[in-house]
């Protein structure tokens, strides 16, 4: 029969409606029924969709499928943080991390295999860029996490932890952040449709404040996003002046701080948002001096901005070290004294290497994969958002 079956996972509502109309001659409400099955009930098999006519179901299975990524490994931290390694193809993997807190459950997802931004303190950069994830691979991370967390909760496998008493499409997942592998704005065409499904009430039904896109600073795409999709914005600032940021976040050479901040304020204006969260990794002796804090305060004072200080997470081969706790506290206090809100991100899941920005999810050993065994020893991902 003609062509590949279309993967329905992650198709935004309008596209799914168009698909059932043109390929199956069905009314739009069929698309809505399908979405409920896929996201709310976690179905991946048309035969389970019992309120759809038998005929419609068999027609569907000829032209469509619901294909989710495969979980290769799962680890659970002593603090309840969970990390899944997902297979993208024979050699590549990505990671997704779930971080439970008393009042929320945050899922940290990836947008690319590898990354091309080349930030000097990030381990994903070391593996370079492999490819963009598809919409289905992005939404599939949420679909899988939801299934795993629901099962862990219901079956008492090992306790899912996190926000209790949640039901419906998102289960324990109350927040989604693009802080895993990759630069989401460099995969704009797949990330935006995925976000639409996160926000859709027939998708994961999250409010726009609970979906956060974190970027290293792709200025033109920030302007585009401001027109097209309403989500919370986080920006990896990491330095208070261009000289230092050029070194830490090389995209700064193309889009310097002044240009980046102008785009951020435009985004907030346009979206009627509250504030941009600026991420700032604390690197010992590099960007953590009191003078840096004062420079930052001058940049952000009086602006709709919050700073999130991230203690650096080390990884093999890095030349950086984490700032001492006292330096981080002092840095925060200087900012607060200058009227800029700054918080320190708690490190979570470090016993399973699931802490901020160290993700390098690669399946390296083909022999082991063939044997049905695991992956490389666990790389790491970002965590916590407040
Ligand atoms: N490409 C996106 C998402 C990256 S990961 C971005 O740049 O925003 C999320 C955060 O973790 C980013 O702020 C990133 O700079 C930070 N990060 C990267 N490596 C880190 C490390 N080793 N320790 C702590 N934070 C790190």
| Separation of CA 234 and ligand 1 centre (Å) | 11
**Using an 8 Å Cβ cutoff, are 186 and 116 in contact?**
yes
- Is 356 labeled as catalytic in the residue annotation? yes
Ligand 1 atom at shortest distance from the alpha carbon of 359: 19
Gap between the Cα atoms of 338 and 315, Å rounded: 33
Torsion of CA 17, 19, 24, 29, to 10 degrees: -10
Report pLDDT for 383: 38
Q: What average pLDDT is seen over the chain? A: 87
Residue 368 has pLDDT above 80, yes or no: no
- Active-site hit among 119, 264, 356, 384: 356
Check: CB of residue 65 under 8 Å from CB of residue 223. no
- Say if residues 106 and 176 touch (Cβ distance below 8 Å): yes
Cα 264 to its chain centre, rounded Å, is 19
Task: Note whether 194 and 15 are within 8 A (CB).
Answer: no
Tokens of 162: 């996190």
pTM of the predicted structure, to 2 decimals: 0.90
Ligand 1 centre distance from Cα of residue 382 (Å): 7
Ligand 1 site, residue 214, Cβ cutoff 6 A: yes
Does the annotation count 95 as an active-site position? yes
Is the Cβ atom of 382 under 6 angstroms away from ligand 1?
A: yes
CA 79 to chain CA centroid, Å, is: 20
The atom number, within ligand 1, closest to the CA of 314 reads: 22
pLDDT attached to residue 244:
98
Average pLDDT over residues 266-293: 96
Burial (CB count within 10 angstroms: exposed 0-12, middle 13-18, buried 19+), residue 152:
buried
Q: Which atom of ligand 1 is nearest to 180's Cα? A: 5
Please compute the mean of the pLDDT values over residues 255-281 and round it to a whole number. 96
CA of 356 to the centre of ligand 1 (A): 6
Q: Which of 110, 121, 239 for a ligand 1 pocket mutation test, highest count of atoms within 8 Å of Cβ?
A: 121
Ligand 1 centroid – CA 342 distance (Å): 17
For residues 264-288, average pLDDT: 96
Q: What is the CA radius of gyration of the chain?
A: 21
pLDDT at 46 over 90: yes
Q: Is the CB–ligand 1 distance for residue 114 below 6 Å?
A: no
Higher pLDDT, 238 or 160: 238
Separation of alpha carbons 368 and 201, rounded Å: 41
- What's the gap in Å between 1 CA and the centre of ligand 1? 45
* pLDDT for 360: 56
* β-strand pairing of 82-87 with 70-76: antiparallel
179 CB within 6 A, ligand 1: yes
- Which ligand 1 atom minimizes the distance to the CA of 182? 1
């Amino acid at each position: 029969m003609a062509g590949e079956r279309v993967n329905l996972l992650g198709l935004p509502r309008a596209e799914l409606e168009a698909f059932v109309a043109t390929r199956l001659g069905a009314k739009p409400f069929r698309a809505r029924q399908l979405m409920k099955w896929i996201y709310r009930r976690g179905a991946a098999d048309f035969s389970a969709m019992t309120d759809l006519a038998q005929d419609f179901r068999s027609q569907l299975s000829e032209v469509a499928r619901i294909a989710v990524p495969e979980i290769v490994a799962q680890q659970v931290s002593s603090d309840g943080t969970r990390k899944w390694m997902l297979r993208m193809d024979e050699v590549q993997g990505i990671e997704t991390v779930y971080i439970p807190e008393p009042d929320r459950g945050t899922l940290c997802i990836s947008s690319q295999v590898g990354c091309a931004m080349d930030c000097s303190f990030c381990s994903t950069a070391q593996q370079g860029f492999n490819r963009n994830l598809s919409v289905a691979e992005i939404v599939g991370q949420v679909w899988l996490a939801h299934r795993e967390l629901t099962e862990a909760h219901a079956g008492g496998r090992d306790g899912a932890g996190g926000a209790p008493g949640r039901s419906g499409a998102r289960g324990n997942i109350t927040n989604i952040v693009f802080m895993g592998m990759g630069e989401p704005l460099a995969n704009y065409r797949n990330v935006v449709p995925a976000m639409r499904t996160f926000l859709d009430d027939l998708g994961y039904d999250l409010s726009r404040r609970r979906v956060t896109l974190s970027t290293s600073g792709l200025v033109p795409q920030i302007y585009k996003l401001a027109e097209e999709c309403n989500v919370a914005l986080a920006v990896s600032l990491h330095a208070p002046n261009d000289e230092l940021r050029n070194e830490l976040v090389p995209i700064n050479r193309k889009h310097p701080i002044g240009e980046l901040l102008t785009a951020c304020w435009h985004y907030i204006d346009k979206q009627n948002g509250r504030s941009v969260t600026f991420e700032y990794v604390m690197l010992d002796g590099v960007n953590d001096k009191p003078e840096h804090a004062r420079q930052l305060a001058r940049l952000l004072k009086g602006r709709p901005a919050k700073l999130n200080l991230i203690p650096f997470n080390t990884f093999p081969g890095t030349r950086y070290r984490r700032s001492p706790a006292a330096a981080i506290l002092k840095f925060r206090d200087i900012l607060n004294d200058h009227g800029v809100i700054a918080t320190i991100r708690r490190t979570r899941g470090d016993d399973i290497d699931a802490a901020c920005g160290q993700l390098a999810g690669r399946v390296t050993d083909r022999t082991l994969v063939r044997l049905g065994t695991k992956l490389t020893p666990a790389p790491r991902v970002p965590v916590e958002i407040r």
